[in-house]
Amino acid sequence: MRKIKIWIFANICLVFLSVAALAQEAPRAEVFGGYQLVDSYGDQGETGSTGFVLNGWNASVSGYYNRYFGLTVDVAGSYATPTVVLPPVGGIPVSTHLYTFTGGPVIRIANPSRYQPFIHALFGEAHVLGSASIARAGGSVSGSNNGFAVALGGGLDIKVSPLIGIRPVQLDFLQTHVGGSTENNIRYSAGVVLRF
């Protein structure tokens, strides 16, 4: 009888140790979705455009080769209506849509605590759509352009449960080269992370 009790106790300990080891294992994939704010600083050029703020959404999928290194694919869209100054016409509100499609390496600091910082370097494409109504000219103008985008930054995930986390902050230096113009932007994102 004593051997059976020891065997049962040893198996219970083994189960608890296995569960604890699984709980500390870093997820192999993460899916993020949430809000983004882009603080845009364009080169003023001849149009006299100044910095403006775009609001929108940000989503990403990360797959990890091990506890620390992986790849991230990031897709985002943001929207604003800044005023562009054209000398003969004056200030014209321009409906602006900025979409970015980027990917690259990610490094996370996987640890047993609830807090998991990460950094990434993402490279890809920016797509800008713009349209404006010019009342004096009696018409509207619209156009789109593609170019290069790079996002360098990182953030912090807070584990709420084994499958769900909160990303209170992700900050990126987002640079776009579209239509001969370079924009240096600061991007802030926050949202929910699903961990697999």
Give residue-wise pLDDT tens across range 108-134: 998 899 999 999 999 999 999 988 876
> Is 123 contained in some domain?
yes
Q: Is residue 38 part of a domain?
A: yes
**Residue 117 domain-assigned?**
yes
Specify if 152 maps to a domain. Answer: yes
14 domain residue, yes or no: no
Q: Does residue 62 belong to any structural domain of this protein?
A: yes
**12 inside domain:** no
Given a contact cutoff of 8 angstroms between Cβ atoms, the answer to whether 119 and 149 are in contact is no
CATH no. for residue 161? 2.40.160.20
* pLDDT tens digits for range 8-54: 555 454 444 443 344 457 889 999 999 999 998 755 444 445 678 99
E-assigned strands of 7-138? 29-42, 52-64, 69-80, 83-86, 90-108, 115-134
Q: How many domains are contained in the chain?
A: 1
Structural domain harbouring 76: 27-195
In a domain, 86, yes or no: yes
CB-based contact 81:55 (threshold 8 Å):
no
